[in-house]
Amino acid sequence: MTNPVLSVVIPTRNRARLVCEAIESALSQRPGEVEIIVVDDASTDDTAKVITETFGTRIRMLRTPERRGAGAARNAGLRLARGELVAFLDDDDLWLPGKLDAELKALERFPDADGIVSDSLTFVQEQAAPQTFFMKNGLLAATQGHVRWINELPWLWTNSLNGVAMCSITLRRRVLDQRGDKSFAEDLISCEDWELEMWVYHHWHIIALPEVFAWIRRLDDGARVNRSTPGKPPTDEQEFLYLRDRLTVIERSHWPRGLRPDLAAELENCREDTVRRHARLQNVETA
């Protein structure tokens, strides 16, 4: 493959079966036109062996000597990417048939777009959620079922609860090139995707495609270290760590000059809520 249409970075750790399903869903998009880069984040099982034996030269494989987290794994894979478009797929998620075709068709209609976001549906322990991401975050109503420019929509993306799934974001390579060597923060357990999202939506021209093209699978398999177990409420410690990361992202986000008033107000609301909840849990820990 000389000039792939799309480079897909898939971080994984100790999930041989799941990641193989994720890889297959990416390979089936446009056979021969999609570059798959799998980053094994220091698995301790046979994940790397299974991937290599199953896919051989159809994918590019990178193994890290020590566990560094999803942000660092995505960054490592991104450094190898050669496609004009770049996307990220977690090892427990799936792309649905036709995703890339639909995105390319939309980008042809909006040639000035720097990227595209599409809708996705979450499954918790194989049970489908009652609403898609776009239903929850307001994008479905805002787009009215049509491909639209994000900056023309009343979408409050400055709240971390209003983001989209990482596997539903496809960007032109130039966007991430400008971000630098570390597109994703490597010092966070969570919210590293939201940090990138906010920067992208604020600085670049992105379109929204209101169709479901990804399944987000949340499974209780012990892989979510320091994060809540799917289908169960988070512990105080897990919530504390999440709020800490969210507050870190907000406090170091000095980029949002020129935000629309509604987006700036929502970011401040998010900050105040995070500070309040974080302080309460901090008091619980020190009591």
Q: Please write down the long-range contacts of 224-230, taking CB distance under 8 Å and 24 or more positions apart.
A: 225/189, 226/189, 227/189, 227/190, 230/124, 230/125
Q: Residue 286: is its pLDDT beyond 60?
A: no
Nearest to 64 by CA among 51, 73, 75, 55: 73
Q: What is the pLDDT of residues 120-162, one digit of tens each?
A: 999 998 899 999 999 999 999 999 999 999 999 999 999 999 9
Nearest to 150 by CA among 136, 178, 131, 169: 169
Give, rounded to a whole angstrom, the gap between the first and last alpha carbons of the chain.
Answer: 59
Which three-class secondary structure string do you get for 52-70?
Answer: HHHHHHHCEEEECCCCCCH
13 in a domain, yes or no? yes
Average pLDDT over residues 95-101: 98
How many domains does the chain divide into?
1
274 in a domain, yes or no? no
CA 71 to chain CA centroid, Å, is 10
Q: Residue 255: is its pLDDT beyond 70?
A: no
68 in a domain, yes or no? yes
CB 4, CB 33: distance < 8 Å:
yes
Tokens coding 242: 């999440």
Element (H, E) at 286: helix 261-286
41 in a domain, yes or no? yes
Q: What is the pLDDT of residues 49-60, one digit of tens each?
A: 999 999 999 999
CB 39, CB 74: distance < 8 Å:
yes
pLDDT band at residue 109, thresholds of 50, 70 and 90?
A: very high
Q: Residue 225: is its pLDDT beyond 60?
A: no
DSSP for 95-146, written as a single string:
EPTTHHHHHHHHHHHSTT-SEEEEEEEEEETTEEPSS-HHHHHSHHHHHTTS
Strand locations in 153-287, DSSP E? 169-172, 206-218
144 in a domain, yes or no? no
pLDDT band at residue 287, thresholds of 50, 70 and 90?
A: very low
Average pLDDT over residues 20-39: 96
- SS3 of residue 211 by DSSP: strand
Average pLDDT over residues 225-231: 58
Please state whether the predicted TM-score (pTM) of the whole model is above 0.85: yes
Range of the domain at 85: 1-91
pLDDT of residue 236: 87
* Cα distance between residue 268 and residue 156, in whole Å: 12
63 in a domain, yes or no? yes
243 in a domain, yes or no? no
DSSP for 11-48, written as a single string:
EESS-HHHHHHHHHHHHTSSTTTEEEEEEE-S-SSSHH
CATH for 33: 3.90.550.10
97 in a domain, yes or no? no
* Cα distance between residue 136 and residue 120, in whole Å: 11
